[in-house]
Structure 1
Amino acid sequence: MLFDAKRLAAVSLLALLAACQTVSAPSVITLDKAQGSSENISSLTATVNADPRNPESYNVRGTAYGRAGQNKDAIADFTTAIQLNPNFYQAYANRALVYRQTGDNQAALADYNAAIRLNPNYDGAYIGRGNLYRTANRNREALADFQKAIDLNTTDPRAYHNRGLLYQRDGQHKQAIEDFSTAISLRADAPEPYSGRGVSYLALGDDENAFSDFNMALKLNDRSAEYWTNQAIVFERRGDKARAAKSYARAAQLDPNYKPAKDGLARTRGTA
């Protein structure tokens, strides 16, 4: 029975490591959700109408459209901003993010490349392009971009978080923990680095620190199936099937298609 418990814990950890790689980092558009409200967009539209030749106004409204999920309108505004100012590298990077959100990765890559050509010291474009490379499993290119942003002394936590994910994928968990910790020091209210660091702690057998990080991630965002699954895995490794099943059940409720949660729930409820 001890062998089975270890085997199941290993299976859980492998599933968790795989799932962690799909997590998206905070985006280039970092506006507050309220800035995507219809009231704010109406106000920004008034600003655009008052000065229709100002590219910055279109860029700002484009970010608001992006936050609201109005991708076509966002792309149109960023395009207008670029037409008015062909050197507007921030607008290229913002449009790249929206292209990526719509699944047009080729257009996103072209825009990130354009932003970098216009400003080789723009850390945000390297981070955005690096994340595009990372999700396409172009790990070497992704690592180079995150490293470039870090060499530029970026204060953007995404550079460290995403590099940490690459280290984690490569089994370099101590380096990953360092990067996740730096990301946390730069933005303590983001749950993703806590979750990522917890996964690496778990891989190193440090269940206590892993559990602490998973709980912090849940405190910051209790609507994530992944975070509830992370917590459940620690309960399962401790042999507390009742609590594990409860957390797996909550994860499955939030995302019925999340396989690590479904598999964990089957195990801890004795139906595997």
Structure 2
Amino acid sequence: MAALSAITISVAGCSTTTPVDTISIDRTQGTEENISSLTEVIQRNPSNPEGYNVRGSAYGRSGQFRNALEDFNRAVQLNPSFYQAYANRALIHRSMGNLTEAANDYNRALKINPRYDVAYIGRGNLYRQAGRTNEAMTDFNRAISLQTTDPRAYHNRGLLKQLRGQHPQAIEDFSASISLAPNSPEPYNGRGISYVALNDDDNAFADFNRAIELDQKVAESWANQALIYERRGEKARAAKSYARATQLDPKYRPAVDGLARVR
């Protein structure tokens, strides 16, 4: 999502912020020991769909998407009303680029349980990805109206408000996301960008620094920090942070362009 395109040229290096709805790959979830343990549970009770759902989730988190799909398929075969498994399968489909299948699964989950906040958040991100921002906003609003405790709803709604130039409201949503997931760097980056749009560089800088403290391997955080240094005229420090961002992601345009400017 292109963030803050209407801001003055001095903020042109401001990065896009990351929507939160992707699978964070953790190879340890797919270790032979972990999968074997889950397989033993299934073997003891092969007609229990929950076992397949749990193992499918482990496969998904480890990046073994095809194995995950097989398990979620089996789960919904055993229990066609298993709405959580549909939503889990939808996220796998989305990660594989099967967006139509993902949408169908979120719709199935919501038909079974119209109050399932996770499915609204997931479908909202599909809408956002397709540029259907009004429908995305409706889904995020619905999840929040259901009193979700899932930080993704607030974070991703904040991105939409940011896109619309509603920065004070976006800051409120990013703050709500932070309160639910204080150790996640994404909402700090999102909130910081809206602070930049409001020319509140001090709060923006604090948020970008916090994002770096939480995860030093996110190129966006370093590029955002560099932007504040650049706006302050501290070109040497800006260059160092932009360079760090390009080391982490050589194709990250805000960092590449920023480094070219300060050099």
1:102-157 C-alpha deviation (Å, 9 max, x unpaired): 00000000000000000001000000100111121110000000000011111111
- Could you state the TM-score of these two structures normalised by the residue count of structure 2? 0.94
| Structure 1 residue 11: Cα displacement | 2.0
Q: Is the 8 A contact 2:21 2:125 kept in 1?
A: no
Instruction: Tell me if structure 1 keeps the 8 A contact 2:13–2:255.
Output: no
What is the aligned partner in structure 1 of residue 4 from structure 2? none
1 CA distance for matches of 2:115 and 2:27? 28
Shift of 1:40: 1.0
Partner Cα distance (2:176, 2:35) in 1: 35
Looking at both structures, which has the greater relative contact order when contacts are Cα pairs under 8 Å and sequence separation is at least 6?
2
Counterpart CA distance in 2 for 1:186 and 1:105 is 28
Give the distance between the partners of 1:30 and 1:230, measured in 2 at CA: 22
C-alpha separation in 1, matches of 2:141 and 2:262: 41
Task: Tell me the secondary structure at the aligned position of residue 207 of structure 2.
Answer: helix
Q: What is the alpha-carbon distance in structure 2 between the residues aligned to residue 10 and residue 121 of structure 1?
A: 40
For residue 170 of structure 1, report the CA deviation from its aligned partner. 0.5
In structure 1, the residue matched to 2:127 is 133
* Equivalent residue letter for 1:191: P
Letter in 1 for 2:133: N
Q: In terms of mean alpha carbon deviation, does 94-103 or 132-141 score higher?
A: 132-141
Per the alignment, residue 20 of structure 2 pairs with 25
Supply the distance in 2 between the matched residues of 1:68 and 1:45 (Cα, whole angstroms).
15
**Aligned position for 2:92:** 98
Establish whether residue 45 from structure 1 lines up as the match of residue 49 from structure 2: no
Matching of residue 172 in structure 1 with residue 173 in structure 2? no
Matched, 1:79 2:73: yes
Displacement of 1:51 in angstroms is 1.2
C-alpha separation in 2, matches of 1:255 and 1:129 = 28
The aligned residue for residue 9 of structure 1 is 10
- The residue identity in structure 2 corresponding to 1:62 is G
Please tell me whether the aligned partners of residues 175 and 187 of structure 2 are also in contact (alpha carbons under 8 angstroms).
yes
Q: AA paired with 1:25?
A: V
1:45/1:61 contact within 8 Å kept: yes
Are residue 246 (structure 1) and residue 247 (structure 2) matched? no
Match of 1:124 in 2: 118
The answer on whether the counterparts of 1:31 and 1:64 sit within 8 Å (CA) in structure 2 is no
Separation of aligned partners in 2, 1:125 and 1:150: 12
Alignment TM-score, normalising by the size of structure 1: 0.91
Give the counterpart of 2:254 among 260, 263, 266. 260
**Offset, 1:241:** 0.3
Aligned match of 2:61:
67
Q: Cα offset for 1:37?
A: 3.0
Q: Which runs of 5+ in 1 are unaligned?
A: 1-5
Count of residue correspondences: 257
Offset of 1:24 from its aligned partner? 3.1
Cα distance, 1:46 vs. partner? 1.2
Instruction: Give the alignment's Cα RMSD to 1 decimal.
Output: 1.6
Return closer, same or farther for 1:251/1:65 CA change in 2, 3 Å cut-off.
same
Q: Distance in 2 between matches of 1:230 and 1:68?
A: 29
Contact 1:82 1:88 in 2 (8 A): yes
Structure 2 residue corresponding to 1:215, chosen from 209, 214, 226: 209
CA distance in 1, matches of 2:57, 2:116: 18
In 1, Cα distance between the equivalents of 2:238 and 2:29?
38
What 5-or-longer segments of structure 2 have no aligned partner? Answer: 1-6
Structure 2 distance, partners of 1:193, 1:221, is 12
| Deviation of 1:7 (Å) | 6.0
The whole-number CA distance in structure 1 between the counterparts of 2:120 and 2:155 is 14
Partner of 1:3: none
Aligned residue for 2:144? 150
**In structure 2, distance between residues paired with 1:26 and 1:262:** 26
C-alpha deviation, 1:240, in angstroms? 0.2
